[in-house]
Amino acid sequence: MSKAVYIATMEKSSGKSIVTLGLMRMLLGTVAKVGYFKPIISDFEEGEIDNHINTALAHFKLDIGYKDAYAFTKSEVINKMNEDRIDEVFDTIIEKYKAIEENYDFVLVEGTDFSGEGTATELEINTEIAKNLGIPVIIIESGTGKTMKGFINNLLSAYHLFEDNDVRVLAVIANKVQPKNLERVQSELYHELPKKVVVNAIPVIDFLANPTIKEVIKELDAEVLFGQGDELNNQVANYMVGAMQLRHFLPRLKEDTLIITPGDRSDLILGALQANISYNYPSIAGIVLSGGLKPEAPIIELIEGLPRKIPILSVPRDTYPIVKSVGMINSQIYADNKQKISVSIRTFDKYVADFELSNALITFKSAGITPRMFQYNLLKRAQKHKKHIVLPEGKDDRILRAAARLSNQGIVDLTILGKYKEIEKRVETLGIQFDLDKIKIINPIESPNFKDYAATLYELRKHKKMNLAMAEDKMEDVSYFGTMMVYKGHADGMVSGAAHTTQHTILPALQFVKTKPGVSVVSSIFFMCLDDRVSVFGDCAINPNPTAEQLAEIAISSADSSKAFGIEPKVAMLSYSSGSSGIGEDVEHVREATEIVKKIRPDISIEGPIQYDAAVDPLIGKSKLPNSKVAGQASVLIFPDLNTGNNTYKAVQRETGALAIGPMLQGLNKPVNDLSRGCTVEDIFNTVIITAIQAEGL
């Protein structure tokens, strides 16, 4: 079941409130705790708050702080975009969403309000938010002011916009439709949209569209002379200008009329008040007095003595500018307007197929974890357990920059190998925020553990003709010293390779950290953070030409690593042929490895041999291997040799802009990971995090 849904629109005044309130009520009948989150809110004057958030939190009594229910204002997002810092926006949104998700069974996420300029930008941001959160969407569109063809096309455009960006659309709701067109709208949408999409249409509800006196006060910045409490929630269904004599004025009154008249027209004011309490005339919503003129004292005294009052407002502006402003009010639903909330929920219940929608939510399953969510989960997981990682290459500026970032965010405890004074001077030169009190600096040869480490290495390697002097020489090497820290339990893991070869980094680990029981080969994987998913690539860094048995072991290790990092393993054993279509030594090699995995680990979903396109593309996968549970949806891709794997991961990384996290070594008793000498600070940062997570299971 989906744990959240995103309510999206493509314009302002679409009527999201009806769907938000109705969905909240529907979900509360299905799950125990429903949370609410609105990633981006409109800009408000100081002291004002977002009405949608306030209404949801207050009416459903949600234990969520107002500032926890949103991440940014619209202007803050625009500023971040102008500064090329949009990644910070998505990272913060994910963090705040996850904080709510952890405490609720389901989260209703509401998109932007489309206030002001920048519609195209808001559309893009809404699709990206839903995509990065990995949640499905319900699209709402208003039919007000649109032709039938234009309305249908808008909804279809919205559907394709989200689907083309790999966001699943669960439902489309045509809102504010003229009652006579309800069936036609639904019929056309049913015809145009896939059967999996729930289609509903809600008619225009005049009561919900009518502004309240409270909204009139806000729009006109009016002074309230009379009226308070529930009286300010009076609905304005009609408005008229009071400029004629009373005998002509009274017959024109309609139910819930707002009267706009100069403040010196005492005859019309008193006549309207009298009509409001008369059984022969309709109820009055309120009176707006224009020109800044107020009734004289005797009139005020008379009004104060009436048993039934209506709101009377005073505005400095002239009558006709007031009329224009009132006519432009887009009504909202406020937390204290119980009647509008009740009507909204009843309308949703009546016109939305709640069973179909509820079933769509229950049966929805995300295709996979999104790259940003994957990175967020890694970071939070590492922060929670805060392992101790050693970085042997203290002379490398990239290591120092990554270490500062890791330490400042409290992700891991760190030890850097090198000379304290040299590192202190380099940090100062680089101008990075580096807390030397939090990060331990060790010069191996000056360490009090140096002799013990050398003696331990001697005992472990004396059968290989190593003597104590040789062991001491080795221990001066940062790779050996750092690995020994891990072996002795003085660090939980090591990350190196920014300035050393792969062999230099992992040789000490192979010599005395050794492989896990039942594992004969150390292999590697990359977490490939593609645009819409995270895939596991292996082996792309260690084994040049694995045997069928070794390839099977690599596949098993990769599947287990995938599962440990929250990615459901569906393993594709890659080759130049799919299924039984091809023959040849290389294909048979992969086929044999696949059969070994099936025999040893029948719990693993695996397909092989299979081509890359058939492994990841649903249409091609279905065409080539129609009965496969892996084809078209593989999450773990095992390459037949290092030449293929290394070139493929680099090609995918360069051509798609994918982030490649790794390599992560698998099979060792304790985590030691190798960096590329061309690594970036971001690569180091991510590799330290996955090393810390590897250490959790040890």
Distance CA 5, CA 135 (A): 6
CB under 8 Å to 164, separation ≥6 — which residues? none
pLDDT of 117: 59
The Cα 597–Cα 516 span in angstroms is 18
In sequence order, the 6+-apart residues with CB closer than 8 A to the CB of 208 are 15, 18, 331, 333, 340, 343, 344, 347
Average pLDDT over residues 353-374: 75
**Is the pLDDT reported for residue 432 higher than 80?**
yes
Q: Are residues 438 and 546 in the same domain?
A: no
- Tell me the C-alpha distance between 123 and 397, whole Å: 40
Q: Taking 60 as the threshold, does the pLDDT of residue 232 lie above it?
A: yes
544 with 612, same domain: the answer is yes
For position 336, what pLDDT does the model report?
79
What is the tens place of the pLDDT at every residue in 571-601? 999 999 887 776 778 899 999 999 999 999 9
Regarding whether 255 and 376 lie in a shared domain, the answer is: no
Pair 22, 160 in one domain: yes
* pLDDT attached to residue 583: 76
d(CA 239, CA 326): 9
Is there a domain that residue 83 lies in? yes
With respect to residue 682, please indicate whether it lies within any of the assigned structural domains. no
For 650-671, write each residue's pLDDT tens digit: 999 888 888 888 889 999 999 9
Q: Is the domain of 497 the same as that of 553?
A: no
pLDDT (tens digit per residue) in 606-626: 998 999 999 999 899 999 998
Does one domain contain both 14 and 143? yes
Per the structure, the count of domains in the chain is 4
Distance CA 141, CA 162 (A): 14
Share of the chain above pLDDT 90, in %: 37
- β-pairing, 523-529 vs 534-538, is antiparallel
Q: Which of 112-116, 271-275, 666-670 has the lowest mean pLDDT?
A: 112-116
CB 240 within 8 A of CB 259: yes
Residue 397: predicted pLDDT: 92
Asked whether residue 344 is domain-assigned, the answer is yes
pLDDT at 116 over 70: no
Residue 210 has pLDDT above 90, yes or no: no
3-state secondary structure 5-33: EEEEECCCCCCHHHHHHHHHHHHHCCCCC
| Mean confidence (pLDDT) of the chain | 88
What is the rounded average pLDDT of the residues 246-263?
88
Across 174-193, average pLDDT: 90
Look up the domain containing 25 and give its range: 4-208+339-366
Residue type, 69: A
Mapped onto helix, strand or coil, the DSSP state of residue 511 is helix
Q: What CATH number has the domain bearing residue 322?
A: 3.40.1390.20
Q: Is the pLDDT of residue 309 over 80?
A: no
Q: At 229, is the pLDDT very low, low, confident or very high (cuts 50, 70, 90)?
A: confident
Task: Provide the pLDDT for residue 43.
Answer: 83
In a domain, 689, yes or no: no
Can you tell me the distance from the alpha carbon of 557 to that of 555, in angstroms, rounded to the nearest whole number? Answer: 6
From 348, 366, 384, give the residue that closes a domain.
366
Q: Which residues have a Cβ under 8 Å from the Cβ of 598 and sit 6 or more positions away?
A: 604, 606
- Rounded CA-CA distance 127/695 in Å is 36
When pLDDT is averaged across residues 174-195 and rounded to a whole number, the result is 90
* Residues 558 and 468 grouped into a single domain: no
In a shared domain, residues 548 and 585: yes
Average pLDDT over residues 358-362: 76
Say if 691 falls within a structural domain: no
Q: How sure is the predictor about 115, in pLDDT bands with cuts at 50, 70 and 90?
A: low
Three-class DSSP category at 633: coil
Average pLDDT over residues 481-502: 93
Contacts of 349 by beta carbon, 8 Å cutoff, 6+ apart: 22, 25, 26
Q: What is the mean pLDDT of residues 404-417?
A: 91
- Has residue 492 been placed in a domain? yes
Residue range 53-86, pLDDT digits in tens: 999 999 888 999 999 999 999 889 889 888 888 8
Q: What is the CATH number of the domain that holds 85?
A: 3.40.50.300
481: CATH:
3.40.50.10950
Same domain (yes/no): 326, 390? no
The amino acid that residue 109 corresponds to is V
Say which CATH number the domain at 631 has: 3.40.50.10750
In a domain, 232, yes or no: yes
If asked whether residues 251 and 201 sit together in one domain, one would say no
Cβ atoms of 391 and 685 within 8 Å: the answer is no
Band of pLDDT at residue 496, cut at 50, 70 and 90: very high
For helices 119-133 and 74-82, give the axis angle rounded to 10 degrees: 90
Which pLDDT score is estimated for 292?
87
User: What residues pair up with 110 in beta bridges, in sequence order?
Assistant: 7
- CA distance readout (Å), 134 to 2, 98, 421, 499, 636: 9, 12, 47, 37, 19
118: pLDDT strictly greater than 70: no
**Same domain, yes or no: 148 and 281:** no
Type and span of the H or E element at 259: strand 257-262
Percent of the chain with pLDDT over 70: 98
| Same domain membership, residue 505 and residue 563 | no
pLDDT digits (tens, 9 = 90+) for 15-58: 888 888 988 888 887 777 889 999 999 887 777 888 889 999 99
Beta strands in 457-569 (DSSP E): 493-496, 523-529, 534-538
Question: Quick check: 698 pLDDT over 60?
Answer: no
Pairing of strands 223-226, 312-314: antiparallel
Does residue 256 contact residue 263 with C-beta atoms inside 8 Å?
Answer: no
Is 692 part of a structural domain of the chain?
no
CA distance readout (Å), 210 to 190, 207, 285, 344, 612:
31, 5, 11, 13, 57
